[in-house]
Structure 1
């Protein structure tokens, strides 16, 4: 059950409640002015009875009047609140510190009803109908694991959730000792999630806030919500109380192999299909579910949006009768004096619909006892079932082996990395989707695309290539070629490696072209090839038609030498350890350029840097440290200025004056200053 505030819970019980709705689509809010109606369907089972280990996407169907186009797979979140317009101070009986109600909104908190994604749309007149599903629909993709097996169920669960971007909460509890022995090839991510949940006594669902959760089951779960007779319109008890004491798990559907735990007839047996379970897991499952029971029912009630699929609910039903109508004995009559009988059941399916008001339909189906006890097979059914168990069927995998009319006999790894196909016309051995060994019976040709290695043995005849290309490796572990190794025609594109032995003659070639040539000494007029390397990887130098490149031990390009014919330049380019270009030296028609992509350092350790010719700075110069004597003419010019300043004098003439006082002596004349 989704957590709500006490205020929200109280107003849900009121008969005069008024709902406020909105929906957020790709971050944009649409109010009740745009919403015509909607319904949300949540399921823990799609069969006629109780199931465990399910992962069923919830479904939203909403009708809107919208002007803007809603993009494909848009995220849709409906919200529901309760109006507080009619609330008075006398009705506000809640603690002040617990209330978080904005004064302007006059409403409870907005409760999300789930996160959905648009799957289908239809427009009738001006109303759009959008069909949406929650994020479990994105798990309907093939699961290809990168783990090493055996692997724990927790590791597999985390790998799927991380790949799909799913977040889960503390309700997801997976037994750390539970393992999956081999890679679960052929299953979707949603199937694997449901199988893991089933092994851990749970089913998977997406909560209203978009978080993946487990709904765990046990025999003594209490009711999380109680309904009175005023909370529902109709309730129908469809079968007697359903309980389980025996578990049967089919782990191999092809051969009908099962594990069992507990005791009981078919009516009290829970049937499960789960290829990952073991006998220990089945025993633990039976111990957790032994005595689990629920009352099958159909109910139409007022809307309670905080209820989740899997919630245990209690409800009361009026079952009074008169004394004359009571036909049971006094000891066997268990009707309370007020006639209100209380029951407990579980929400296995629910549909919540909004059309101005909120309505909830709850369903807890079960298989009737008669169906469980009298599921008899006729003679024809027995023969068909026996045929299904014993016959080998086309297209069905049997531990990695299948056969069909089109391909014949096929052996394939679970992770699809290798596949072998055999029939009367061909043999095809594929690795990572590429044919490595292929025999064409009609053409009588065997093609091998790999490394051909002979630990011993002798070619007694002539090894010749009349045509075609040898792309593998020809290796001689030991032995000596005593004759002449020559090629009348054709091209040798593989690698010729001499582990030991001696070429006793002279190896000469007018032209050696293509592939790799590894040896201590090669004599030839021309060596033409796509690439020449000093090593296969690590520290090496490579030479090809584009130029010369040096690679460091981390396989990063560090220095390149070549010509750019389009730009008309040639030169060096230098790279850092991450392969990013830091600078280059190149020649144009009249200039030699040295450029640093970031900074450029010119340094002489213990010597001088000489710049011959005129130096022109087109930008600012910083950090220049020069002595006066190092700048031509500057020292003598400063000495002349110093001499002129030290020998300078001048005269000042003041007129005769007495400062305006006739009593003072008139004073004035010409005065010469001293030297500084």
Structure 2
């Protein structure tokens, strides 16, 4: 149930309630003068009974009187408020801090009724009817995962929500031990989300604020809202109380492979389809749903817009009879003295209709006991079931093999690394989406894009080619080549010996050994001055110098083509002791070391720093003197010294001109025989 304020709750119960309506269409607000009416359908089940693992989009049908152009997929959010125009001070019996009512008495706070997106429209006269669905419809796209499998259901759920830009709240509780063993190829995002929800005893829905939520079911559920007989028009019980004590989960519909848990007949069995299920998942479903029950019914009632699909509600029903009409035995008669029976049910389907006032229809359907126990298939159903078992279906994967009208026979791995397409126009073996072996129909040639490798093989007849490139190993017991042996590229293993010769074109080799190799251009993956020990190596990673122990001591490399270029010096342990880096983004050249010395071997050629110099830390001059820096060369020093001199002069002047006076009373030095005198005021001299 969506949270609302106490004031809103109280006014919903009043018989004289009056609604105020508005709708936010994109960024434009429509009031009651443009809103004709609307209806909202919310569902957790689309069949004749209770289900889990559903992800059913809510539907909004709204009629607007407007001439404005509302684009496709426009966002529409309807709102309801309750008028406070007739409220008096005596009626305002609420805590002051909860009274969020404006002084003009327009209405309570606005309650959103869901976030919807335009899917279809129709115009009759000057009124547009828009059919809209919530954002679950955007999940009806193929799910191609980038995760590494097996992985947790939580990781898959997060990947889908992140791709769709969705947020979910704390109601989404996924068992961390539940995993998906292989990439779920062939499923949409909405299907995968619903399977994860069903494994965790829940269904998925989008709440009134647009947040993804789980509605979890358990036998211990208690009503979140209680309705009195004044809150509904009529209620009709459609079947006896439905209770579940057994769970059957089908994880392979083709071969009808299932897991079971619990005991009970078909009338007390919940059937679930979930390709990600295990016996542990099935046991978890039974633990949550064993004993879950609800009263199947349909109800027409006053509208309570805070109710959501999946809410468990209680309601009262007058069932009192007279003593004469009661025919049951005393011990079997369970009627309260006030004659009002209290029941519990769950909202599996609800419809809100607004046309000035708000009313709602609630449904909690169920399959009757007879339909559960005695399922009779007609001849057509029997034939269809037989066809489903025996026929190969278009677009359905059979261990990676699929038959479609567009590509014929397709065989594809779940991670899409390899794929085979066979039809009358195309025969192709693909790797990572590219043709590796295929038949080129216009040229009538089989073509290879990659490496042709064989353990052994014998070619008879004449092997002839106008041109070609051989990579890999070309081996022969013996042979004589006459004429010109020419190749754009090739790899030779073993020993190639010639008295003399001239090679034109490209020579490719994993290793070239020799003391004197001459040529205009030598291109190779690695260039070494020696196989091991003290050597220099050059490859695509840069330049490296090794000592006699094979340790890299000097390295020149770039991190990317447009980023950092560096020269690095290393110690015998391979740790960097200093480096010079250049940064493309800032144009900086930096020198770093844990202990950096810059020195000159000649006093006649000192170290020179040209340009502005910035010290990032403290500078210590251990010996010698600093020349060439005057007071005026240091910013602010001259003004600071002048200020200090002025203050010193002022203090000196004050000290030299200071004088004070001392007043001493008349006294007799402690002897009363003496004459009392000597007092007066005496002025001091300057220092």
TM (norm. structure 1) is 0.74
* 373-382 or 103-112, larger mean C-alpha shift: 373-382
Structure 1 runs not aligned, ≥5 long: 541-550, 560-575, 584-603, 610-624, 628-676
What is the 5 A alignment of 1:159-238?
A: 159-238=159-238
Between 1:191-200 and 1:384-393, the stretch displaced more is 384-393
Q: Is the 8 A contact 1:538 1:555 kept in 2?
A: no
Tell me the equivalent position of 2:375.
375
SS in 1 for 2:62: strand
Alpha carbons 2:42, 2:58 under 8 Å: kept: yes
Distance 1:130 1:378 in 2: 40
Judge conservation of contact 1:478–1:500 (CA < 8 Å) in 2.
no
1:171–1:214 Cα contact (<8 Å) kept: yes
Distance in 2, matches of 1:474 and 1:442, equals: 26
Distance 1:162 1:486, change over 3 A: farther
Provide the rounded CA distance (Å) in 2 between the counterparts of 1:311 and 1:457: 72
Q: Quote the Cα distance in structure 2 between the aligned partners of 1:129 and 1:107.
A: 27
8 Å contact kept, 1:480–1:501: no
SS at match of 1:90: coil
Task: Write the mapping of 1:220-369 to structure 2, written as runs, cut at 5 A.
Answer: 220-369=220-369
Rounded Cα–Cα distance in structure 2 between residues aligned with 1:317 and 1:357? 24
Q: Give the deviation of 1:605 after TM superposition.
A: 10
Question: Matched residue pairs, number?
Answer: 560
Show the counterpart of 2:495: 501
> For the residues of structure 2 that align with 1:172 and 1:558, how far apart are their CA atoms?
44
Q: Structure 2: how far apart are the matches of 1:103 and 1:193? A: 47
Following the alignment from structure 1 to structure 2, what is the Cα–Cα distance between the partners of residues 283 and 199? 10
* Conserved 8 A contact 2:474-2:491: no
**Residue of structure 2 in register with 1:636 after alignment:** none
| Counterpart residue number, 1:475 | 472
Asked whether the 8 Å contact 2:154–2:174 carries over to 1, the reply is: yes
* 1:483 Cα deviation after fit: 4.6
Over residues 103-125 of structure 1, what are the superposed CA-to-partner deviations in whole Å (9 max), with x where a residue is unaligned? 23532111111111111111111
Contact 1:421 1:427 in 2 (8 A): yes
The change in CA–CA distance for 1:607 and 1:265 in structure 2 (over 3 A counts) is: closer
Aligned to 2:658: none
Contact 1:403 1:410 (C-alpha < 8 Å) held by counterparts: yes
Of 55-64 and 323-332, the range deviating more from structure 2 = 323-332
In 1, Cα distance between equivalents of 2:484 and 2:48: 77
**Equivalent residue, structure 2, for 1:554:** 559
Tell me how far 1:29 sits from its aligned partner: 1.4
- Structure 1 residues 233 and 155: alpha-carbon distance in aligned structure 2, compared to 1, 3 A threshold: same
Q: Contact between 1:556 and 1:579, CA under 8 Å: does it hold in 2?
A: no
- Please state how far the C-alpha of 1:341 moved relative to its aligned partner: 1.3
Instruction: Tell me if structure 1 keeps the 8 A contact 2:313–2:344.
Output: yes
Gaps of 5+ in 2: 528-537, 544-555, 565-580, 589-604, 611-627, 631-687
Please give the root-mean-square deviation of Cα atoms over the aligned residues, in Å.
3.8
2-side partners of 1:383 and 1:68: how far apart?
53
The structural deviation recorded for 1:325 is 3.1
Q: How far 1:538 sits from its partner (Å)?
A: 3.9
Within a 5 Å distance, the mapping from 1:80-119 to structure 2 comes to 80-104=80-104, 106-119=106-119
Q: Note the C-alpha offset of 1:229.
A: 0.8
| Cα distance in structure 1, aligned partners of 2:29 and 2:144 | 38
Deviation at 1:477, TM superposition (A): 7.5
Instruction: Summarize the Cα distance change of 1:485–1:135 in structure 2 as closer, same or farther, 3 Å threshold.
Output: farther
Residue 478 of structure 1 and its aligned partner are, at CA, apart by: 7.0
SS of 1:287 mapped into structure 2:
helix
Supply the distance in 1 between the matched residues of 2:609 and 2:113 (Cα, whole angstroms): 78
Q: What CA distance in whole angstroms lies between the structure 1 residues aligned with 2:367 and 2:299? A: 18
Take 1:605 and 1:172, find their aligned partners in 2: how far apart are those partners?
71
**Residues 379 and 11 of structure 1: CA distance in aligned 2, closer, same or farther (over 3 Å):** closer
For structure 1, which segment, 60-69 or 158-167, has the greater mean C-alpha deviation from structure 2 after superposition?
60-69
Q: Which whole-Å CA distance do the structure 2 matches of 1:183 and 1:214 have between them? A: 23
Please state how far the C-alpha of 1:25 moved relative to its aligned partner. Answer: 1.4
Change (3 A) 1:120 1:368: same
Deviation, 1:327, is: 2.9
CA-to-aligned-CA distance 1:272-300 (integer Å, 9 cap, x gap): 11100001110110111011010011111
Q: 1:345 to 1:485 in 2, by over 3 A?
A: farther
Contact 1:556 1:578 in 2 (8 A): no
CA contact (8 A) 2:491 2:508 kept: no
Matched position secondary structure for 2:472? strand
Greater Cα offset, 336-345 or 199-208: 336-345
For residue 620 of structure 2, what is the aligned residue in structure 1?
A: none
